[in-house]
Amino acid sequence: MTGTEVLIRAIAQLREAGIDDPARDARRLLAHVLNIAPGRLTLVLPDPIAAAEVSAFESLITRRLAREPVSHLIGRRVFYGRAFKVTPSVLDPRPETETLIEHALAVEAGTILDLGTGSGCILLTLLAEQPGARGWVTDISASALTVARDNAEALGVQDRVIWAQGAWFEAVPPDAQFDLIVSNPPYIALDEMAALAPELQYEPRLALTDEADGLTAYRAIISGAPDHLVAGGRLMLEIGLTQADDVSALFLAAGFTDITVLTDLDGRDRVVSGVILPHTDS
């Protein structure tokens, strides 16, 4: 069979199963099996494909039909122009999170703390973009930290990262302070989980929901952040689409100023940012 024949059949299967953009997914998977860049796939489609490669491709298509994410099937996801290793132990890096990256890069931050790092995509991207910066990451999951370490080594920034296992600030020394604290915490409320895309069943539930109202992590992070920010330091948190008012109120109650809701490229509320000012005696 030629690549074209194999691809056409796979696209039809994915389309019939209701997969969004079946052509894109099929092409990415076939390029992965053939070990070529997706942009070169068209050049080889007229050629015959070895039986072993056809079998490997069909196995991946079967898994995709079960809604396993393409990133899990090929083991990586591109984020902010860089390839990140992903596994079922970490949340898939998403384009929406690049909103946080864009605004964080505008902050002069020599020291950065990333809480609940997952794949490490936030902190490691910031370090890759800012050679003079250093970072500290925490995650409650040992397997997630392993993935993040692999990504740090692949990007060549591992010497500028301190790793700590634990929940939020529990893994951070009491006297440690940072110019910038970032996080993309679990923000999906328990009653919203049933309506999520089937692909999310393959991602760690702990990274998706707090099993409550979706604000548990924000309460912990925002209340603890002032003790770990230098005067004038900034906290930036990714949020769910309906959480801007609630999260902004938590920022205000914790003593933050310059509280701003930042929108993504689709105009949706995506990040809340705030600054902690020096304490003054009354």
pLDDT tens by residue, 106-154: 998 999 999 999 999 999 999 999 999 999 999 999 999 999 999 999 9
- Determine the average pLDDT of the residues in 54-60: 97
- In the three-class reduction of DSSP (H, G, I as helix; E, B as strand; rest coil), residue 263 is classed as strand
Mean pLDDT for the chain? 94
Interatomic CA distance for residues 94 and 80, integer angstroms = 9
- Residue 280 pLDDT grade (very low, low, confident, very high; cuts 50, 70, 90): very low
pLDDT at 282: 39
Question: Where does 46-170 show beta strands of DSSP type E?
Answer: 76-79, 82-85, 111-115, 134-139, 161-165
**Alpha helices per DSSP H over 17-120:** 22-34, 41-44, 51-65, 70-74, 98-104
pLDDT at residue 169 above 80?
yes
279 Ramachandran zone, left/alpha/beta (phi>0; psi -120 to 50):
beta
Q: What is the pLDDT of residues 182-219, one digit of tens each?
A: 999 999 999 999 888 888 889 999 999 989 999 999 99
Kindly tell me if the per-residue pLDDT of 281 is higher than 60: no
- CA neighbor of 49 nearest in space, from 29, 69, 64: 29
pLDDT, residue 221, reads 97
CA R_g for the chain: 21
Domain ranges in the chain? 3-66, 88-276
Among the four given CATH numbers 1.10.8, 3.40.50, 1.10.10, 1.20.1630, the one describing domain 3-66: 1.10.8
Answer whether 0.75 is exceeded by the pTM: yes
Tokens 């691809």 label which residue?
Answer: 7
CATH T-level assignment (fold) for domain 88-276:
Rossmann fold (3.40.50)
